[in-house]
């Protein structure tokens, strides 16, 4: 109990913010692997959003922002599909299906 009293209240929010910031960047690196433009655009957007809100002090607003960031991470991880142009008339798309834990290969014409 003594240790908790010595830790300032904002430290708990800071820990949550940093954890989510790092998770978003790891997810970005997985989702946009080998796509340098998308990697850089996502990096800039994540950094910009966190920087724009770095001085927020309202507990309610911080929780709201963390919820939004968490939702974005889930959407990135579960809904983004990277496509690769393999031929003049074909696009090969590879999606990872998390629920079934198998790779699903789709061929679009």
The 3-class secondary structure across 55-98, one letter per residue, is CCCCHHHHHHHHHHHHHHHHHHHHHCCEEEEEECCEEEEEEEEC
Please, what is the end-to-end C-alpha distance for the chain in angstroms?
A: 63
Residue 51 placed within a domain: yes
CA distance 74 to 43: 16
pLDDT in tens, the chain (109 residues): 455 555 556 677 888 999 999 999 999 999 988 889 989 999 999 999 999 999 988 889 999 999 999 999 999 988 887 766 555 565 455 443 333 333 333 333 3
Residue 104 placed within a domain: no
> 94: helix, coil or strand?
strand
Residue 65 placed within a domain: yes
| Cβ contact 24:46 at 8 Å | yes
For residue 85, what pLDDT is reported? 56
Residue 61 placed within a domain: yes
CA distance 21 to 66: 9
Would you say the pTM of this structure is higher than 0.85? no
Residue 1 placed within a domain: no
Residue 87 placed within a domain: no
Range of the domain at 21: 6-79
Residue 54 placed within a domain: yes
For residue 95, what pLDDT is reported? 44
Residue 95 placed within a domain: no
How many domains are there within the chain?
Answer: 1
CA distance 64 to 3: 28
């Amino acid at each position: 109990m003594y240790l908790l009293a010595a830790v300032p209240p904002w430290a708990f929010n800071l820990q949550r913010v940093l954890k989510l910031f790092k998770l978003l960047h790891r997810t970005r690196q997985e989702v946009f692997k080998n796509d340098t433009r998308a990697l850089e655009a996502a990096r800039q957007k994540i950094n910009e959003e966190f920087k724009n809100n770095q001085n927020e002090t309202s507990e309610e607003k911080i929780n709201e922002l963390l919820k939004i960031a968490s939702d974005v991470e889930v959407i990135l991880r579960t809904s983004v599909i990277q496509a690769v142009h393999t031929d003049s008339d074909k696009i090969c798309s590879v999606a990872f299906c998390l629920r079934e834990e198998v790779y699903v290969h789709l061929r679009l014409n």
